[in-house]
Structure 1
Amino acid sequence: MSPFSLTRTLPADATAAALRADVSQGLSRTPKQLPPKWFYDARGSELFDEITRLPAYYPTRAEREILLARAGLIAAATGARTLIELGSGSSDKTRHLIGALTGLLSYVPVDVSESALESAGRQLLADHPGLDVHALVADFQQGMTLPPTPGPRLLAFLGGTIGNLLPPERAAFLRTVHGLLSPGDALLLGTDLVKDEETLVAAYDDPEGVTAAFNKNVLLVINRELGADFDPADFAHVAVWNADDAWIEMRLRARRELTVKIPALDLAVPFAAGEEVRTEVSAKFREDGVRSELHAAGLDLAHWWTDDAGRFALSLALRR
């Protein structure tokens, strides 16, 4: 078998169809909302990379700190021969794991971006020529089938991305993970932790304005893909801490009354002055809550590691 293979389980037009559905449904409801996955075109990905380097944005640095400190323990606890990464992107953080997993034979990066998978996969092969890379173009929320690879398997879902899912979506996702794994396989999960409101809001509302540009990028994606006439200057970036639900909400707030036309959907969307569109939820967690959600999905928490400041956690759970 070739050391690099790429399988597409998403139809070629799936992304365009999903965008149309999300925009049509999300902007026609009250209150309005859009899923955060539409931030991430090429420009959005560049902006997010810039966000991860901002002083106030701690999650990426905190997670990397844990990975560097605990990669050997993760390897010893799992004995993984296959590493699967959901939302792999550039596969940057998993390089620490790949280096530590001395018995690793296969790596399965999963992402919606074929170009990102090609680039990252071939770079990994250059660094680890004995590794089989089975890239999978798929949306982990739409169901997928993993290629046959040797066990035990370790599935990594990093970056705190699980926090972008609402509680019913999280439960469904964890049940899907359970179905993808065999008894004794493991899930490595990154979760941002509950902390003081000032620290949380600062991470999503930087004075440099990078997060604001990232948030407004969704409007530019809709303009480009659906012919809409959003003017990003008409909207203010808002980040608020919802203590009742333990999550940060990012929103776009209309600065004035206006109507946006979206020709591809034959849609005119009215906004009242001050009306908001929720563009992201980023849930924050506590250990007991993570343990409970994992257990309900048939996954048992075996290890819990945090960075030195206790801001972020990596948990290792075994599939029952």
Structure 2
Amino acid sequence: MNVHATALAETHHLDEPTSAFARDVIDDLSRAPKRLSPKYFYDATGSELFEQITVLPEYYPTRTELSILRDHSRAIAGFIPEGAALVEFGAGATTKVRLLLGECRLGAYVPVDISGDFLSAQASALRADYPGLGVYPVTADFTAPFELPEAVRGMPKVGFFPGSTLGNFEPGEACTFLKGARTILGKNARMILGVDLEKDERTLYDAYNDTAGVTARFNLNVLHRINRELGGDFDVGAFIHRAIYNRDRHRIEMHLISKKALTCEVLGQKFSFRPGESIHTENSYKYSIERFALLARVSGWRLTETWTDRNGMFSVHALVASD
């Protein structure tokens, strides 16, 4: 952690979540090349924009995964022990978990997300629709250790990590996350996890460069958030969204590209940009089933079953903690 970034955050008397945001932003923009963590996409505006992305015609992951969850809901729900607490990492909208609720008898549902306002609204809606289900939201960075609610301590635990969020992590980070999730879930942990699969490059490119420009607004919103929450002075209009496929590393890369030479300031710290300089905001790794099974194995999990769509575009996996 950059000591100067920590001192700046403390000097401005920010609350802890905002201080963490400030430290990461200052630290990451001080690097060469510059970067920002994708976890900061998801303020209220970012979460709403992402929900718009999920229904775009070019963006196949959400609708494809939903089709898998619908077509195999009974088998996937059968993997969840009766009375278990289902812990959803990075919960967002409850669309996917609702496909399983009618097929299993949960003891509780624990959505975990960094966007507290959005999480609270989703939890309230779920309680209204499922009044017999204990819903215990946890506002936390799900990539770091957090405490589960006391109410679910004695229940079997099943992690739920749908979407292609695992692909946002570097492989080493994905391994760390999976190990951490196993620790949080405890003894005899299970997990249901979505993974995007390798496919033709045109499909991948179009999914992250939609014609409506929603993904571009989603990417640029992190600069608006820095301006709003950290008093930054980014000229957001001076940056453009760019997403490319890195074939050698099996990943989509998202960048914000400076259109001109400029200087921006965050909490008194200045950052200079050259024309064409990038802020690397996100990766989205695409896996083969074999490469994912290896990742799971070295992370302390055993892959027991995989469900895919008929075209092999996306996958949902059942994992059991290794002995």
TM-score normalised by length of structure 2: 0.90
Q: Distance in 2 between matches of 1:26 and 1:145?
A: 27
Residue 24 of structure 1 deviates from its aligned partner by 0.6
Q: Distance in 2 between matches of 1:147 and 1:233?
A: 43
Q: Which moved more, 1:55-64 or 1:77-86?
A: 77-86
Conserved? CA contact 1:80–1:153, under 8 Å? no
Conserved? CA contact 1:68–1:96, under 8 Å? yes
Conserved? CA contact 2:259–2:275, under 8 Å? yes
Residue 178 (1) aligns with residue 173 (2): no
Residue 230 (1) aligns with residue 246 (2): no
| Match for residue 89 of structure 1 among 74, 92, 97 | 92
Superposition RMSD in Å: 1.6
Residue 119 of structure 2: aligned partner: 117
Residue 272 of structure 2: aligned partner: 270
Conserved? CA contact 1:80–1:151, under 8 Å? no
Residue 11 of structure 2: aligned partner: none
Conserved? CA contact 1:151–1:185, under 8 Å? no
Conserved? CA contact 2:44–2:118, under 8 Å? no
Residue 129 of structure 1: aligned partner: 131
Q: Distance in 2 between matches of 1:54 and 1:303?
A: 29
Conserved? CA contact 1:36–1:280, under 8 Å? yes
Deviations 1:235-289 (Å, cap 9, x if unpaired)? 1211111112111000011111111122x1x211111111111011111111111
Q: Secondary structure at the match of 1:304?
A: strand
Conserved? CA contact 1:205–1:239, under 8 Å? yes
User: What amino acid maps onto 2:230 in structure 1?
Assistant: L
Q: Which moved more, 1:65-74 or 1:130-139?
A: 130-139
Residue 50 of structure 2: aligned partner: 48
Runs of at least 5 residues in structure 1 that lack an aligned partner in the other structure:
1-11
| Match for residue 250 of structure 1 among 239, 248, 254 | 254
Number of aligned positions between the proteins = 306
User: What amino acid maps onto 1:98 in structure 2?
Assistant: L
User: What amino acid maps onto 1:180 in structure 2?
Assistant: I
Residue 9 of structure 2: aligned partner: none
Deviations 1:24-46 (Å, cap 9, x if unpaired)? 11111100000112222222222
Residue 114 of structure 1 deviates from its aligned partner by 2.7
Residue 201 (1) aligns with residue 205 (2): yes
Q: Distance in 2 between matches of 1:113 and 1:204?
A: 22
Matches within 5 A, 1:66-81: 66-81=68-83
TM-score normalised by length of structure 1: 0.91
Deviations 1:177-212 (Å, cap 9, x if unpaired)? 121234543111111111111111110011211111
Q: Which moved more, 1:24-33 or 1:223-232?
A: 223-232
Residue 65 of structure 2: aligned partner: 63
User: What amino acid maps onto 1:171 in structure 2?
Assistant: C
Runs of at least 5 residues in structure 2 that lack an aligned partner in the other structure:
1-13
Residue 156 of structure 2: aligned partner: 152
Conserved? CA contact 2:110–2:135, under 8 Å? yes
Work out the percentage of aligned pairs sharing the same amino acid: 42
Q: Distance in 2 between matches of 1:14 and 1:313?
A: 37
Residue 164 of structure 1: aligned partner: 168
Residue 23 of structure 1 deviates from its aligned partner by 1.1
Compared CA separation, residues 114 and 39, structure 1 to 2 (3 A): closer
Q: Distance in 1 between matches of 2:155 and 2:76?
A: 15
